[in-house]
Amino acid sequence: MTALERWQHRLKSLGRFPARPVTWLGAALFCIWALIDVMVLHLSHGLAQPTYDGMVRMRLHARPPDPRIVIVDIDEASLARMGREFGQWPWPRDTLATVLDYIEGQRPAAIAWDVIFSDADRASPGGDAAFDAAARRSAHSHFSVVRLPPAGDEASQVRRELLPRLWVPPSVAGTPSASTSTVALIPPRLPGVAAAQLGFNNGYADGDGTLRRYRYAERLPDGSVIQSLPLSVVSTLNPAAYTGLVGDVLHADASDPAGPQGELIDWRASADVYPRVPFADVFGAAEQGETLGPVPSFGGKIVVIGATAPALHDLHPTPLSPNQQGVETLATVLDDALNDHHLLELPRWSEAALACAFFLGIALWVDARGVTSLSHVTLVLPALLLGLSYASLNFGRMYLDLHLAAGLGLLFLAALRIWNALRRDYWYSMPDAMPASGLAAWAILGREVWTNLQLDSLLNALQRHAPDCRVVANDPSASWPTGVRWPDLARAATVVGPAASLEAALPQLRKALGRRVVLEQELLHMGGAAPGELFSTVFQGWSDLFRRLGAKPGAPVGAMP
């Protein structure tokens, strides 16, 4: 016997194990796998991410953008037009001061700056002073800072007293007024900006580099909370939503599925849904100069100032686009926070619980109905789970992440079907130790076509009472749309094995099959185990049964009680 034949023999021998223990052991192993994956390894999240992104892009329903939000866009056209006078970006900051004063004079609801003011203005000696003065005059501006990795917090010298409006007020956070934590970040250089409303504007991508979540606030070791730029805007426009978002951060625990990346972003229908006004046009309107298009009024608007020009590299992958502009993402998360559009998630442990419930449900069904009863829904059941995830993404506030249950459930169903095939192969094949003589055959005829479930019952009975016997039966599987092939022949089955063993097991086999059998044949003895003689005897028994049934259809001879 070759090595390959030995492995095939060992694989085939797995079919000798009883169905019920194998089914429940498989369910237990998959439950353990799900728990370890969700709580420790986090392997399945990588497999689920492309599916989630596809669901986001193919949504039937996406929330409309807030009509108050408008982007003042530092686009390629603005870089080219203003570059003639002011050179390359960054432009002198007095140009930004001019735009800030112009927008502020129209009494906007808020101005969110997706621009970092961490370096000195080297292009214009008076630029910093001009913008610092404009920032002090502005009552609606919110400025960005860059949060550095927390590993550098202890070495930092930035405390609350240096940037007081970056911290959530103690009355909202429920923390003492004094703060001992230092924070690693890139602070603004200008005093007027440092004294204004501040927020970090970091995007924390998943392991594959795609941004799917946003962190609205961060709790520090002393219990105090620093806020993001969107949260800073919300603090002035929707205090109730502001308090709720801070509370979410304070009450989050280690089992939160968002983890350090924050909560899922509720994306709009496409990557560029918010109206944009070129920065050059706003500057032209402020200077009463040239504009290439109409400049709308900014009164009551939430103005987000940022760059979409690819040359400024504020691009990142999202579920909507491999190169989405950062200012568009900022507008989206600001919209979500203002209007309480949040995609909630179940805790991590519940993902494993849902998966385990699915595995146990499969095991219960298989225990009652057999593996083959699920043959037509092996792909349908996982697809239904993904359909539920998709529906929750479209029509609910709670996103049900059923990727783990669907993926591992498909593997579990496939494993059960493979094992069931091995089991059939084992019980439908002559064993190596079958004697060359002294064999007997017990032919039986069912009341109707033998189903796979009924044949499984026969195999279970053999496993308990006649483990050295085997089955010869026709394939009862239905072939759509014609139904079972050879339906008359699919009513017949024969148990073959050592005469003494088979005779001793007949009472238990009859009891296990019950009234499923309409006619049986007395044991047919054969002299040897040659395949030709074996099948000749089997077909002789079937022929006798069909002849007897046809002779007396009303009162079949030998019918079991």
Q: Which one is predicted more confidently, 414 or 473?
A: 414
Q: Are 142 and 190 in contact (CB under 8 A)?
A: no
The Cα 124–Cα 91 span in angstroms is: 9
Decide: helix, strand or coil at residue 378: coil
The Cα 206–Cα 211 span in angstroms is: 6
Query: Which burial class, exposed, middle or buried, applies to 244 when counting CB atoms under 10 A from its CB (0-12, 13-18, 19+)?
Result: middle
The Cα 209–Cα 317 span in angstroms is: 7
CB atoms under 10 Å from CB of 412, counted, come to 27
Q: Are 560 and 516 in contact (CB under 8 A)?
A: no
Specify the pLDDT at position 557: 38
Decide: helix, strand or coil at residue 437: coil
Query: Where are the strands (E) in 201-254, listed by range?
Result: 213-214, 217-219, 225-227
pLDDT digits (tens, 9 = 90+) for 357-395: 999 999 999 888 878 778 778 888 889 999 999 999 888
Q: With 80 as the cut, is the pLDDT of residue 13 above it? A: no
Q: Are 305 and 358 in contact (CB under 8 A)?
A: no
Query: Where are the strands (E) in 290-363, listed by range?
Result: 302-307, 315-316, 324-325, 344-345
Which pair of tokens denotes residue 367? 């225990």
Of 411, 416, 430, 447, which Cα lies nearest the Cα of 44? 411
Q: State pTM to two decimals.
A: 0.78
CATH code: domain 430-551 is 3.30.70.1710
Q: With 90 as the cut, is the pLDDT of residue 178 above it? A: no
The Cα 25–Cα 7 span in angstroms is: 23
Structural domain spans, the chain: 10-57+345-425, 69-157+184-211+264-340, 430-551
Specify the pLDDT at position 371: 82
pLDDT digits (tens, 9 = 90+) for 312-358: 989 999 999 999 999 999 999 999 999 988 888 888 788 889 999 99
Mode of pairing for the β-strands spanning 344-345 and 398-399: parallel
- The predicted model gives 42-63 an average pLDDT of 83
